[in-house]
Amino acid sequence: MIGKNAPMKIDPSEYVRIGTAAALAGVTRAYVNRLIKAGRLPAVTIDGQNFVRRADAVRFKPLPPGGKK
């Protein structure tokens, strides 16, 4: 079992910054940050910067206006 503070091994080429994730998902940076806070879009924080898996950003589908599925 890995401890809570154990180093996480990630492939940096799989992760993008918030601005790039927003462009890939077709939404704004502010919306990506809200999605991360709401738990709808997973992210990792490294040195205070949030990163999203490229595949998650590409696959993300925003809710239609009004928030109904």
Please tell me the predicted confidence (pLDDT) of residue 16: 96
Entry pTM: 0.75
Average pLDDT along the chain: 85
CATH T-level fold of 12-59: Arc Repressor Mutant, subunit A (1.10.10)
Backbone angles phi, psi at 2, to 5 degrees: -90, 135
Beta bridge partners of 45: 50
Identify the band that residue 14 occupies on the pLDDT scale cut at 50, 70 and 90.
very high
Strands (E) in 1-69, as ranges, are: 15-17, 44-46, 49-53
Identify the band that residue 22 occupies on the pLDDT scale cut at 50, 70 and 90.
very high
The ranges assigned to domains in the chain are 12-59
